[in-house]
Amino acid sequence: MKLEIGSPGIELIDRRWIMLRNSKERFGAVSQVFHWGVFLMFVSLYVLAEMMEDAPKGPEKWALYDLHKSIGITVLFAVFLRLSWRIANPAPEPTGKVSKWLEIAASVSHYVLYAVMFMMPMSGYVMSVSGGHDVSWFGMFTLPNLIGKNEGLPEFGEESHEVMATVILVLVAVHILAALWHHFIVKDN
């Protein structure tokens, strides 16, 4: 159904693009904004991580770390909101064009991706605060240090952070391939 203004045939807005909640057929605008917003934040975090590694020690490097941490906190909050929205607005129903085991695999990969999207910022927090570094959100407030400085935890946090980064890359690659497969091969949108 299309909204029209003026004479017939002049389409102003396609209603499916302004649908906020999920329907049985497609994700709503809020789910899509969360999806693409979190994706873009993760891309920016990966870019910042690469820049941090290459930057010489100094104020610029620490500014990159602060920005990385701030975006990481934002991701944690956004993923929490996204999951809350997902619980309140179930995903569109499967089309029935794929086997049951593929539906189960897709569900499992989504749950694992949500878990890793929570654990990734938490491991960054553990790495920072246990190493004696503050975690601030764009300089507006500093998260409390619930751990304290600890000799062994920064390395554990760093290893966990790197492992989860790899897991996210693999899951996102599988997700992209599945989306392309659905769009071009199965043609079920």
DSSP conformation letters of 26-60: S--HHHHHHHHHHHHHHHHHHHHHHHHHHSPSSHH
Going by pLDDT thresholds of 50, 70 and 90, the confidence category of residue 98 is confident
* Position 8 pLDDT exceeds 60: no
* Position 31 pLDDT exceeds 90: yes
CA angle in degrees (0–180, nearest 5) for 180-183-187: 145
The pLDDT of residue 187 is 81
| Segment 18-47 mean pLDDT | 92
H-run or E-run covering 12: strand 11-14
The pLDDT of residue 1 is 47
The pLDDT of residue 182 is 85
Going by pLDDT thresholds of 50, 70 and 90, the confidence category of residue 95 is confident
* Position 176 pLDDT exceeds 90: yes
